[in-house]
Structure 1
Amino acid sequence: MKKIFLVFSITISTFNFSQKKASKFSVDYNKNIETYFLAEILSAEHRRNNKDFELYKIKECSTYQPIVKKALDQYGYLKNSPIAVATAELNDIIMEKYGLGNDALMQSLVYHKEFPSNDWLNVYHFEFSRLNETQNKEVTDLIKNYLEKLSKFYIQEKIETFFNENKDFYQGAVYEYNKQIPVGFTDAMEQFYGEKFNRYVVLISPMMMWPISDGEGRGIGANLVLKSVAKNIYEIASPFVKVEKEGQFGYDNQFQARFLSVHEFGHSFVNKEVNKRSANLQNFKNLFEKSNLKETMIKTGGYGDYETCVSEHLVRLGEIETAKIQKDFERAKRLEEYHLKNNFIFLPQLEEKIKEYDTNRVQYKSFGDFVPQLLEVFENSNIDFINSELEKVKK
Structure 2
Amino acid sequence: MFRFSTISLILCVTLVSACRGMEPQADLEQSTPVPPPTQDRLLTPTVQSHPTVSTDAAQSQIEIAVDPRTELIAIVQLLSGVDQMRVLDNSNYYRAVQDHFAAYDQHPVVTLFRDMNEAGFGFDAPFNLAIYLTDLPDMTLTQPLPEELLWRAGGSEQIEQFIEQLRDFADVTDFMGFFASQSAVYQDAVTIIETTLQDTDMVATLEAYYGMPQQSYSIVTTLLFTGRGYGIRSSSTVDGYDTFVILTPHSATSRGFAFGNQPSLESHLWHEFSHSFVNPLSEIYVDKLLESQMLGAPIDQQMRNMNYGIWLAVVNEHVVRAITTRLAYQEQGQIMGDSEREIHKSRGFIYLDAILEQLALYETSRTQYPTFADFYPQIVATFDALALDYLGGEAYLSDRTVNDVLDEAQAVTIVAPTNEDDAATQAALSDFIENYRDWFYPDAPILDDQTALQQDLSDQTLIVFGTLEGNRWLATDRDRFPFRFEGNSVIADQRYTGVNLRLITTWPHPQNPAKGMLIFTAQRAEDIIDINTVHFGSTDYLIAKGADNYAIHAGNYWKEGDVWSYGPISE
Structure 2 length normalisation: TM-score? 0.56
1:88 aligns with 2:105: no
Aligned residue in 2 for 1:276? 284
Code of the aligned partner of 1:9 = L
Per the alignment, residue 13 of structure 1 pairs with 47
Aligned pairs (5 A) from 1:1-395: 7=38, 8-10=41-43, 12-16=46-50, 22-44=59-81, 53=83, 57=86, 61-62=88-89, 64-92=90-118, 94-95=119-120, 100-120=121-141, 122-128=142-148, 135=151, 139-181=155-197, 182-207=199-224, 209-210=225-226, 217-225=227-235, 231-241=241-251, 243-246=252-255, 248-289=256-297, 292-299=298-305, 301-326=306-331, 328-381=333-386, 382-383=389-390
- Is the 1:125–1:137 contact (alpha carbons within 8 Å) kept by the matching residues of 2? no
The answer to which structure has the higher helix fraction is 1
Per the TM alignment, residue 203 of structure 1 is displaced from its structure 2 partner at its CA by: 0.3
User: Which amino acid counterpart does residue 295 of structure 1 have in structure 2?
Assistant: Q
Please give the alpha-carbon distance, in whole angstroms, between the structure 1 residues aligned to 2:332 and 2:261.
20
CA contact (8 A) 2:207 2:213 kept: yes
Please report how far the alpha carbon of residue 138 of structure 1 lies from its aligned counterpart in structure 2 after TM superposition. Answer: 5.0
Of stretches 12-21 and 192-201 in structure 1, the one that deviates more from structure 2 is: 12-21
Residue 202 and residue 135 in structure 1: after superposition, are their counterparts in 2 closer, same or farther (change >3 A)?
closer
Structure 2: any 5+ residue segments left out of the alignment?
1-37, 393-571
Size of the aligned set, in residue pairs, is: 346
- Give 4+ residue runs of structure 1 displaced > 6 Å after superposition: 226-229
Distance 1:156 1:359 in 2: 58
Residue 285 and residue 229 in structure 1: after superposition, are their counterparts in 2 closer, same or farther (change >3 A)?
A: same
Q: 1:161 to 1:186 in 2, by over 3 A?
A: same
Q: Is the 1:346–1:377 Cα contact (8 Å) retained in structure 2?
A: no
Question: Quick one: which amino acid aligns to residue 276 of structure 1?
Answer: I
State the Cα deviation string for residues 244-303 of structure 1 (Å, max 9, x = none).
222x213243343222211111001111111221222345212323xx21122223x121
Label 1:26 to 1:117 Cα distance change in 2 as closer, same or farther (>3 A). same
Closer, same or farther: CA 156–255 of 1 in aligned 2, 3 Å = same
Q: CA deviation at 1:15?
A: 2.3
The residue type paired with residue 296 of structure 1 is: Q
Alpha-carbon distance, 1:176 to partner: 1.0
Q: Which consecutive residues of structure 1, in runs of 5 or more, have no partner in the other structure?
A: 1-6, 45-50, 211-216, 386-395
Query: Quick one: percent identity of the two aligned structures?
Result: 21
Which amino acid counterpart does residue 259 of structure 1 have in structure 2? S
CA contact (8 A) 2:116 2:154 kept: no
Q: Aligned Cα RMSD in Å?
A: 2.9
- Residue by residue over 1:343-392, the C-alpha shift from the partner in whole angstroms, topping out at 9 and shown as x without a partner, is 2222222222122212222222211221221223322224599xxxxxxx
Q: Distance in 1 between matches of 2:359 and 2:262?
A: 27
Is the contact made by 2:267 and 2:328 (CA closer than 8 Å) also made in structure 1?
A: no
Answer with 1 or 2: which has the greater Rg. Answer: 2
Secondary structure of residue in 1 paired with 2:78: helix
Contact kept? 1:16, 1:178, Cα under 8 Å? no
**Greater alpha carbon shift after TM alignment, 363-372 vs 250-259:** 250-259
Contact 1:320 1:332 in 2 (8 A): yes
In 1, the alpha carbon distance for the partners of 2:184 and 2:228 equals: 23
Return the letter of the residue paired with 1:265.
Answer: F
1:183 CA drift (Å): 2.2
Kept in 2, the 8 Å contact 1:65–1:206? The answer is no
